[in-house]
Structure 1
């Protein structure tokens, strides 16, 4: 994948995550605030002040996630962002992280 293809895909991924979380927040299920600064998406859980940070790393062609549960790297393989250590998928893992930090079940997807 070229750098410009990666950057476009990373931007789409960050926008998808942000839109999904804003939708959940608008429905009143979860009180989160999302803010973007370039390639960094900060997700703040208003009730407890915890955060999840999702950002793209163009030189490595990876998406990185920092959450209470740890730091994770995802590389694009077979049309999905897969964890470089355990093979878990980004949206499934992020759903678990958001659910854990937000205190309610949340399911995110790229659909």
Structure 2
């Protein structure tokens, strides 16, 4: 994957995270504060915990830091998959965000 291809796909991922936060806030009382600075989105939950998603352009990876740990994702041609075989980005973000918010959430 070229750098421009990575940036296009990674930008789409970050925009999807932001749009999911907006939708979740409209549909639930989760009250997720999402802040974007460049290639990084920080989700802040009501209890003060955070999930940080940021781009690692030189590695063509997306990194996620949550209470559950730190995770690296690469695009496999269809989806962003954990580099250690621990699943797909949005499935994991859904699980970790729900744990931190204390309620069911869905990111897509």
Question: What is the TM-score of this pair, normalised by structure 2?
Answer: 0.96
Matched residue count: 108
Query: Which residue matches 2:78?
Result: 79
In structure 1, what is the Cα distance between the partners aligned to 2:30 and 2:23? 9
Does 2:32 correspond to 1:32? Answer: yes
In structure 1, what is the Cα distance between the partners aligned to 2:94 and 2:49? 15
Unaligned runs of 5+ in 2: none
Q: Cα deviation per residue 1:6-41 (whole Å; 9 max; x = unaligned)?
A: 011111100001101111012233111001000000
RMSD: 0.9
In structure 2, what is the Cα distance between the partners aligned to 1:107 and 1:74? 19
Give the drift of 1:87: 4.2
Query: Which residue matches 2:63?
Result: 64
In structure 2, what is the Cα distance between the partners aligned to 1:53 and 1:39? 11
Extract structure 1 runs of 4+ deviating beyond 4 A: none
In structure 2, what is the Cα distance between the partners aligned to 1:86 and 1:28? 31
In structure 2, what is the Cα distance between the partners aligned to 1:102 and 1:17? 15
Unaligned runs of 5+ in 1: none
Query: Which residue matches 2:92?
Result: 93
More helix by share: 2
In structure 2, what is the Cα distance between the partners aligned to 1:49 and 1:76? 30
